[in-house]
Amino acid sequence: MKIERIELQQLHMPLRFRFETSFGYTTIKELILVSVYGEGEVGHAESVAMSAPYYSEETTETAWHMMEKFMIPKLFTSEIETPEDVDRLFAPIRRNNMAKAALEGAIWDLYSKQKGISLAKALGGEKSVIDVGISIGIEPTVDQVLAKVERHLGEGYKKIKVKIKPGFDVEVIRAIRERFGEGVPLMADANSAYTMEHLNVMKELDQYGLMMIEQPLAHDDIIDHAKLQRELSTPICLDESIHNVDDARKAIELGSCGIINIKVGRVGGLTESKRIHDLCQAHDIPVWCGGMIESGVGRAHNIAITSLPNFTIPGDTAASSRYWEEDIVENGVELMAPGQLAVPDSPGIGYVLNQKAIGNYVIRTANFRP
Distances (CA, A) of 246 to 85, 86, 213, 242, 263: 19, 19, 22, 8, 15
Contact 25, 19 (CB under 8 A): yes
Contact 299, 317 (CB under 8 A): yes
Residue 290 is given by DSSP the state: -
**Computed from CA positions of residues 187, 156, 281, 106, in that sequence, does the dihedral angle turn out positive or negative?**
negative
Residue 68 is given by DSSP the state: I
Q: Which amino acid is at 214?
A: E
Query: Of 29, 100, 159, 263, which is the active-site residue?
Result: 263
Distance from C-alpha of 243 to C-alpha of 220, rounded to nearest angstrom: 9
Count of CB atoms within 10 A of residue 219's CB? 15
Distance from C-alpha of 149 to C-alpha of 183, rounded to nearest angstrom: 13
DSSP readout, 75-124? HHTS--SSHHHHHHHHTTS-S-HHHHHHHHHHHHHHHHHHHTSBHHHHHT
Q: Give the residues across from 7 on adjacent strands.
A: 35, 367
Contact 66, 103 (CB under 8 A): no
Distance from C-alpha of 337 to C-alpha of 174, rounded to nearest angstrom: 29
Angle among Cα 58, 63, 65 to the nearest 5 degrees reads: 125
173: left (phi over 0), alpha (psi -120 to 50) or beta: alpha
Distance from C-alpha of 263 to C-alpha of 17, rounded to nearest angstrom: 23
**Computed from CA positions of residues 305, 292, 348, 66, in that sequence, does the dihedral angle turn out positive or negative?**
negative
Q: Is residue 274 flagged as an active site residue?
A: no
CA dihedral defined by 87, 92, 93, 94, rounded to 10 degrees? Answer: 110
Q: Is residue 250 flagged as an active site residue?
A: no
Q: Which amino acid is at 63?
A: A
Query: Of 121, 159, 163, 274, which is the active-site residue?
Result: 163
Contact 131, 57 (CB under 8 A): no
Count of CB atoms within 10 A of residue 247's CB? 18
Residues belonging to the active site: 163, 263
